Structure 1
Amino acid sequence: MYTYLKKFVFLALLIPALAHSQDKNVIIRVVQDNESSRLDNFETNLLLKRSSFKFQILLNNVEGVYVFASVRDSVYRFTENSPIRDFEYLNLLELRDGDKNNTNRELNLSETGWSYWFYKDSADWHSFNRKSVGLGEIGIVCTKAIRQFYDVPNNKVLKMRNMETPLYLYFVAVKEFDKDGKPLTELMRRKVRIEWTDED
């Protein structure tokens, strides 16, 4: 009887721990100098200097996050609960990313495609800076440093210091894919509007 009781207590403690370790979660921060803004709300407005900044992203049981970035505000057509157009085809709308391990420190700008920022231990390269921070069951923190923008349609680099228009970003994390890698359900979404200041 005592042996059965021990097994029951062990399973009762183990199952919640396993369930917690398998939870999926994504947390995004925008960091510049010593200032950090966590994107807890669906919509966030930020004011940044025209200098390098970075995204710090916690991935917990999630491989990556889709990012739509543009200098036009078309991304704002998506509300907090509205369907995202072509959500099930996000993997087919991925922009080609030749910036392995974020060597160029670039953010792709496009009106038609999405970047996919991912991290996999088994991959030869990933979308973030080379160094990441593992937090055990909590997940892994990856950094995407940005020092310039890449205008995908026009195939040209845009310098940060020359930015005159706001930057619009839309983040989407997928909760579940089908067997062919097609997105099925959404985990989270965030949209960000970044304006620029000339302050040092």
Structure 2
Amino acid sequence: MHKAVLPFALFVLITLFAPSLASHACENHTFSNNRTYARCVDLPVLNSSLHWNYNRSSYTLDMAFRHVGTTHSRWVAWAINPSGQQMIGSQALVAYQSNNNGSMRVYTSPVDSYATSLQEGRLKYRVSRLSATFEKESEMTIFAAVHLTSDMGTINQVWQEGPLNGKGDGPSMHATSGDHIKSIGTLNLVTGVTS
């Protein structure tokens, strides 16, 4: 009797704790520029994670968006959408590796159309310390400080990745099926709770 109960109890414990262990894989990552973040979350699709510090007195989000499994011929983006959980209205940070000299191109882009090619433009929020890296031939990260407003303890986040255009000097349309249409959710910057 006891021999049958023990394996079942172990199975229940593993089942309960395995998801929580997997959900914190981002905590094991160390950034090469020695930046550290108090919180992180592994995003549910597109091999991405968000790492951040949130200053509640200045409403500043110091963040790193990391995407793995990419190549030099693709772009990545992370955005806040004050309008809701959708692409239109997103205030995006975009990065890719330039084919001209191999340096990283990183900039802000307000998304106002489904036909956007993520042109550079001014966001609704001030962004500082914007930079990006491409490391290990497969890992792209965007770093920034985003200066929010007092009512934005919980944000709508959108993230995406896609191919560069034929010239390799700008984003082309991302896929519109599968995980590419699931890359959206909410994030509480204080508690770290996502949905």
TM-score exceeds 0.5: no
TM, length-normalised to structure 2: 0.37
Q: Compare relative contact order (CA 8 Å, sep 6+) and give the higher one, 1 or 2.
A: 1
Which has a greater percent of helix? 1
TM, length-normalised to structure 1: 0.36
